[in-house]
Structure 1
Amino acid sequence: MDRVVGTSGRIAFASAMRNLLADVYPGHDQAELVRRVFEVLGLPIEGDGPEPSEEYLRKWDQRDAFLITYGDSISQAGKNGIESLGEFHQKWLKDWLTGVHILPFHPFTSDDGFSVSDFTVLRPELGTWDDVYALSKNATVMADLVANHISASHPWYQQFLVGEKPGVDYIKTASPDDDLSDVVRPRSHALLNDVVTKDGEKHVWCTFSYDQVDLDYGNPDV
């Protein structure tokens, strides 16, 4: 792994990533996991490649202030939510707020956007990825990444129910006999949801609701 990262920045990133992955997945090939992370991020891992720009690498600090909002908080005729939000920021907020933090903007089935059914697109009324990119030209953009669970309508969970890959390997389950007394959560329903699948009864881990199914991060493919 020491030789396959082309530039100093990527070497440092790969080293840090490898150490983190070793803690989470001690029984796996760390070099292969790092390679897969680079592949997902679209970064070259062999030879010399272009370094990210200073603008891309810039992190926020104490001088930054963010507007936290849903993508449809601002509306105007003939324009989608993200486009309207960008124009509002430019006209009224740019001198005080350097960034915009957009709460979940994907298609969802419950919990005000936090039960995501498709991570690849935006809800049509909010716009497209091009609109998010346009917003990023004038403001630092943050977005909520709902990574710990998916909607029960998501294709992965539907695959889990019928025993199809990859979803059958992506959903967190447990046994009713497990000691779950240390799990603390602001919910009144039972943590495990008993569901019937092609492979028999499974006990699905649902931290927030039965429409929000936890992903199994014990599997590095997730």
Structure 2
Amino acid sequence: MKIKNQAMLITYSDSLGKNLKDLKKVLEGPLKDVVGGIHILPFFPSSGDRGFAPMDYTKVDPAFGDWSDIEALSKDYYLMFDFMINHISAKSPYFLDFLEKKDESAYADLFIRYKNFWPNGEPTQEDVDLIYKRKPRAPYRIATFADGSEEKVWCTFDEQQIDLDVTTETTRRFIQENLEQLAEHGASIIRLDAFAYANKKIGTNCFFVEPDIWEMLHFPRQLLAPKDVEILPEIHEHYTIQQKIAEQDYYVYDFALPMLVLHALYSGHVNRLVHWMEICPRKQFTTLDTHDGIGVVDVKDLLTDEETEETREALYAQGANVKKIYSTEAYNNLDIYQINCTYYSALGNNDQAYLLARVLQCFAPGIPQIYYVGLLAGENDIELLESSKEGRNINRHYYDLEEIEQEVQRPVVQSLFKLLKFRNTSPAFDGEFSVKMLDETSMEIFWNNQDAGVSARLTANLKEKSFEIVEIEEGKMTIIEL
């Protein structure tokens, strides 16, 4: 199925009910017509990081279901799957075979061995300092082979996530085979996780290494284009990177929007948000929340450093049940540039402020993605956070079917559903976009589809947290009540 200009749900296979069959029930019941697409977070057998250390892309984790469950969803929704282009599980058959057979393994070339990569088998301190890394040391783990020997292999993230050498024929074949079979199972778009880390080159920071990274982007596109499957590189960094990729006609993420909307709602000032909407890519997926924290690095130079700090401090002051420690090493947080909090709790569990945030997202350029906790206006799950000591679990509540039935009755959730149904069905959003600042605290967004004779206008006052949505069809104005 081709991508539709309709809201996309982001969810794990076992977050709305226990498995994929439960998820289908929820989508056909309480969530009927609310979303047009689903990003099903990694559903493969995995050895860590909630699915992001995949062992085998040819299988669905039996705890969630099987391929028939995925394919059943693909008949009614456009689907996004994940492909971890940077790494594979330490418990994958590929890495285990490498540990068993070492140089004789058919998969030896899948991995980056320090002894082959660095001129003297080790990076210099200067090399290490240069690398854009997620650890306070060189990115490696020790591989212990069956013969008792040991060597270092590149490992950017968790010990369970072994980096792939994307330059070798073995890895290219691995990427091709897996992407093609994911396309066969109903993917409309494949998200390339941790994409900017994939290329490593001595003398660089090993992050979004140009020009190599462009070839790395074109390779999967060429494979998937004949199958009508798109790709979406996942990168948290300076907004200009997303603009560069968008210029090549790829889909990108709008990871700047979450902090910019918070800044506008906390401060009451619309200037930064309006500026971003004027210059942001149009072919994009917008987010306010994902399975990770709220990104801070993405608004560098869109907010001043002072405004970013003020927004961060306001989140801790005005947010509900959120503390700075939840985004630190004490809660296993690798990324100092992300804040662990649900978006609803970031806005103090305030229904009106939260609804306005979602209205702004739905009117922004791009296709809105809404994380399952956000779809149910979920609060911070302190119980899960404390029991797991995993910071990101604050925003990873498990909903059972009964709880979902209760949550969807809340007025804020009902209003959000009305908003998403309007966003999914109004032809206005297939038209031309424009935005303007009315005064320091107010803005107007206008979508005009001349061909269909339909337009939609949002007028919002960020200080008062008030807004009005109007749809105009053949001169007749209708106020959209949420």
The TM-score with structure 1 as length reference comes to 0.65
Partners of 1:158 and 1:75 in 2: CA distance: 33
Structure 1 letter corresponding to 2:80: M
Match of 2:316 in 1: none
C-alpha RMSD of the superposition: 2.1
1:66 matches 2:3: no
Partners of 1:116 and 1:73 in 2: CA distance: 18
Q: Say which SS state the counterpart of residue 23 (structure 2) adopts.
A: helix
Q: Say which SS state the counterpart of residue 144 (structure 1) adopts.
A: strand
CA contact (8 A) 1:115 1:212 kept: yes
Equivalent position to 2:54, from 92, 97, 116: 116
Equivalent position to 1:103, from 41, 57, 62: 41
Shift of 1:199: 9.4
Match of 1:215 in 2: 164
CA contact (8 A) 2:47 2:53 kept: yes
Match of 1:168 in 2: 108
Structure 2 letter corresponding to 1:185: K
Match of 1:203 in 2: 152
Q: Say which SS state the counterpart of residue 151 (structure 2) adopts.
A: strand
1:147 matches 2:85: yes
Partners of 2:26 and 2:135 in 1: CA distance: 37
Q: C-alpha offsets along residues 103-133 of structure 1, whole Å, 9 cap, x if unaligned? A: 1111111111111122211111211111100
Match of 2:28 in 1: 90
Match of 1:191 in 2: 139
1:177 matches 2:123: yes
Match of 1:25 in 2: none
CA contact (8 A) 2:60 2:67 kept: yes
Q: Say which SS state the counterpart of residue 141 (structure 1) adopts.
A: strand
Partners of 2:38 and 2:65 in 1: CA distance: 16
Partners of 2:17 and 2:7 in 1: CA distance: 22
CA contact (8 A) 1:206 1:212 kept: yes
Structure 2 letter corresponding to 1:145: F
Segments of structure 2 that go 5 or more residues without pairing to the other structure are 115-120, 172-482
Assess, with a 3 A threshold, how the Cα gap between structure 1 residues 219 and 171 changes in structure 2: closer, same or farther: same
Shift of 1:189: 5.5
Partners of 2:107 and 2:148 in 1: CA distance: 13
Partners of 1:189 and 1:131 in 2: CA distance: 42
Shift of 1:147: 2.6
Compare 81-90 and 170-179 and name the one that shifted more. Answer: 170-179
Structure 1 letter corresponding to 2:72: A
Partners of 1:127 and 1:189 in 2: CA distance: 39
CA contact (8 A) 1:189 1:209 kept: no
Shift of 1:200: 4.5
Partners of 2:88 and 2:164 in 1: CA distance: 7
Partners of 1:93 and 1:165 in 2: CA distance: 48
Shift of 1:195: 2.8
CA contact (8 A) 1:149 1:215 kept: yes
Q: Say which SS state the counterpart of residue 181 (structure 1) adopts.
A: helix
CA contact (8 A) 1:102 1:142 kept: yes
Structure with bigger strand share is 2
Alignment size in residue pairs: 160
Partners of 1:101 and 1:115 in 2: CA distance: 17
Identity %: 34
CA contact (8 A) 1:90 1:138 kept: no
Structure with bigger helix share is 2
Q: Say which SS state the counterpart of residue 30 (structure 2) adopts.
A: helix
Partners of 1:194 and 1:165 in 2: CA distance: 17
Q: In terms of Rg, which structure is larger?
A: 2
Assess, with a 3 A threshold, how the Cα gap between structure 1 residues 118 and 133 changes in structure 2: closer, same or farther: same
Equivalent position to 1:137, from 58, 63, 75: 75
Shift of 1:65: 1.1
Structure 1 letter corresponding to 2:166: Y
CA contact (8 A) 2:134 2:156 kept: no
Assess, with a 3 A threshold, how the Cα gap between structure 1 residues 191 and 93 changes in structure 2: closer, same or farther: same
CA contact (8 A) 2:11 2:39 kept: yes
